[in-house]
Structure 1
């Protein structure tokens, strides 16, 4: 038997942007769209141990397998390369309806589990690069990209705080594991603990991914009038600071504006600084003769604030503007690098934790800001591809913040590495001052208009 799908209208505003209205989330997937906040958050929470827990597990890896610090952080660097590199091709496959959000998440669940199963059971460095860095990085990248884009599609009218909240799970989800790795992990229980971590990721991400579903292109929530939403900046303070994209830019159109490449360069720089802070804060704390509790606590503070800060800056950006918020966040990230160095060199534990706090704020809050800026500038329809292009900057920054940074630490010491990180973070903040939303070309009408009659498409009941 067949039933008719809910009727919808397509409205076109004065810039030619289309809004598909009339269908509720219950019509499309049988539940509230709030599920598309909590499910992505839970999946991001689960895979966060890859990036934010690595610094705490490194010393055990070195002891058990005879690896050097550089070996361990090249594993992290190659992981970051594959985690970032998969975002664009996965986005294109999703937008062409070749791969569904559910399929991407289930593949991500399996590959993420393989990543931790590999380092749990094999001490061979080449096997670790293949299993943890390549397969695990690809899996985590599928989860990250799918979750971030899912939120933006289901909440086109209020994406800032929600994107920040989901993105935050990718940081503070690692906190329990940081303490476990720092205080309990040793060569005797290494395999069991890491196998359990891999199983945990496999199960949580798999369950979440099974429930994922994308809305139709141009979908707009039924209870929000897009015509009024676009026009009424007095009622919508966020819109006044973050106007909607003038059109739906394809990836090539977004590149030609010059703004997407500028975002990419900014993210290359600050992404490397962020990964450097995540990877080396615990080793620097130990080199500064702080005890294991302070070292683990500094990493825990960084991860918690890194995650919660993402939600806070999303809320702030809705009120003062995303570009303005991004600039301030990057300035904080730069100041934090100098502060961590000073407090470590002076052996001041209190200051070290304070600057770990600031590192957490500045070292992760820029990710949801870029994730929200991309659809603000280029629209939602190609967001998986456009944000995938911007996020691919992390594959360059990941090399800088991991393997290359380890080499710099070996050559220049922590002082040289932290000074360099602070200076290039300031450069990234300066570059954001040149970001501008692309403007539409041609003539513009003054009011949104209907593009066609109410339409309905039949579907087959299952």
Structure 2
């Protein structure tokens, strides 16, 4: 009895298997409903200032939290994003995207609510637990949960499909930032900055939106193919028809070459994103106002978002390996040229070069799921992608450390602030050269890593067969 209930339950794979004639274009909006929510992480910094004045209101009081302490909230969220994506990946493939998206909604929305209680009671540990741990788990599971589903629905446009969803993560801040400011202003009183109420409302809204995505998500039936599309008659060298188990994938050199390729690409971009405002003001001292620097940050966010769709869609035509090769070659050249633009006072080229660099940073995230599907097949791509995202956590530490500490070392030794990024940019160019070599070494996965065809079909096929027998 319990087996039958599990087979036909609301969260089961069988329950969300699409009927014949289902419109696959209903799936990207379901994925976006999740990614536009969790993309709020890029806008978390709007809360940092107000949370240093929760007691003092106008000015920080002695009892208020400092920025270093608050900085751990976001760091914990990114840490648990990587950990949850890595450890929940295999579970996600077993239970299906609806249950995973439901858990993500509970964790992410619940993290905001727990944090709201922490702000109201002025207990910082509750923010660490709420947004940092629970919210981070929701970020990780929510990030990977629609990916393998999209790839299975769009075998003919893998890059474009994942780009549409992951673009939402890059664009979530455009919704979250003004919404957060507007809500805090709405709830503001002489005795409160409205932060706790804002967290509560956002938690409820994000849970509801992510649940809409969870209810709308569907998976294709076994052996489903888009109408009018047939797989290539001959297997392409870098696109496998076979599948690799998630545990076996970690034993292949391809996984670790891509891990390093993603780490180096993200390291080069994330360090710039964290210091963009200060960097452009110091590079063009006196010529760039704080308002103009904020505009530069906004432009980079837009490049990050659009690059996720553009580059992943382009990879459908160029191939993933060629696209990643462009990231590393073009990125290295631009990083090498950027210091000269600062020295010559050429603001326009400085901004253009960094916009292209950050577009490739975003493109690296959106292209990697399709790259993994090409190499390891689609059966466990969500879980493999989750484990590869530990590269994001590593780069999230490495990038800012390289930019911030090298800059500070040079300033401490008499280098003018405007010239203190030169060595860092050359170092980033060097890292991208190493990334190019890693990508160049990627080859098709050896056949002894492949799963047997029966093993691949068994999990879902057996469940459907059981359900059909029960209905008869």
Structure 2 residue 40 is the aligned partner of structure 1 residue 49: yes
Query: Contact 2:17–2:219 at 8 Å: present in 1 too?
Result: no
1:298 and 1:96 map into 2 onto residues whose CA distance is 43
Seen in structure 2, the aligned counterparts of structure 1 residues 142 and 384 have a Cα distance that, compared at 3 Å, is same
Q: Which residue of 2 aligns with 1:258?
A: 253
Q: Which residue of 2 aligns with 1:15?
A: none
Q: Which residue of 1 aligns with 2:232?
A: 230
Q: Over the residues paired in the alignment, what is the CA RMSD in angstroms?
A: 3.6
Q: Which residue of 1 aligns with 2:353?
A: 355
- Deviation at residue 93 of structure 1 after TM alignment: 1.0
- Deviation at residue 309 of structure 1 after TM alignment: 1.5
Q: Which residue of 1 aligns with 2:25?
A: 34
Q: Which residue of 2 aligns with 1:208?
A: 213
Query: Contact 2:154–2:226 at 8 Å: present in 1 too?
Result: no
Seen in structure 2, the aligned counterparts of structure 1 residues 423 and 50 have a Cα distance that, compared at 3 Å, is same
- Deviation at residue 377 of structure 1 after TM alignment: 0.5
Q: TM-score scaled by structure 1?
A: 0.76
Query: Contact 2:50–2:193 at 8 Å: present in 1 too?
Result: no
Match of 2:303 among 302, 305, 315: 305
Q: Which residue of 2 aligns with 1:135?
A: 134
Query: Contact 1:337–1:419 at 8 Å: present in 2 too?
Result: yes
Q: Which residue of 2 aligns with 1:151?
A: 150
Matches within 5 A, 1:53-452: 53-55=43-45, 57-61=47-51, 65-68=64-67, 70-97=68-95, 100-117=96-113, 118=115, 121=119, 124-178=123-177, 189=193, 191=195, 192-216=197-221, 218-221=222-225, 223-224=227-228, 228-231=230-233, 243=239, 245-285=240-280, 290-335=288-333, 337=335, 349-402=347-400, 406-407=404-405, 410-412=408-410, 415=421, 417-440=424-447
Seen in structure 2, the aligned counterparts of structure 1 residues 345 and 114 have a Cα distance that, compared at 3 Å, is farther
Paired residue secondary structure (1:173) = helix
- Deviation at residue 166 of structure 1 after TM alignment: 1.4
Once the two structures are superposed, what CA deviation does each residue of 1:84-138 show, in whole Å capped at 9, x if it has no partner?
Answer: 22123222112233xx422221221232224444278266544333222221111
Greater CA drift, 416-425 or 176-185: 176-185
Once the two structures are superposed, what CA deviation does each residue of 1:396-427 show, in whole Å capped at 9, x if it has no partner?
Answer: 22222356765555545662554443432332
Query: Contact 2:92–2:145 at 8 Å: present in 1 too?
Result: no
Gaps in structure 2 of 5+ consecutive residues: 1-15, 54-59, 412-419, 450-463
Greater CA drift, 339-348 or 252-261: 339-348
- Deviation at residue 173 of structure 1 after TM alignment: 2.5
Query: Contact 1:54–1:279 at 8 Å: present in 2 too?
Result: no
Greater CA drift, 316-325 or 85-94: 85-94
- Deviation at residue 358 of structure 1 after TM alignment: 1.6
Q: Which has the higher contact order (CA 8 A, sep 6+)?
A: 1
Seen in structure 2, the aligned counterparts of structure 1 residues 258 and 278 have a Cα distance that, compared at 3 Å, is same
- Deviation at residue 197 of structure 1 after TM alignment: 3.8
Q: TM-score scaled by structure 2?
A: 0.75
- Deviation at residue 318 of structure 1 after TM alignment: 1.5
2:173 and 2:82 map into 1 onto residues whose CA distance is 19
Q: Which residue of 2 aligns with 1:452?
A: none
Number of residue equivalences: 411
Greater CA drift, 163-172 or 346-355: 346-355
Query: Contact 1:165–1:311 at 8 Å: present in 2 too?
Result: yes
- Deviation at residue 432 of structure 1 after TM alignment: 1.0
1:250 and 1:175 map into 2 onto residues whose CA distance is 37
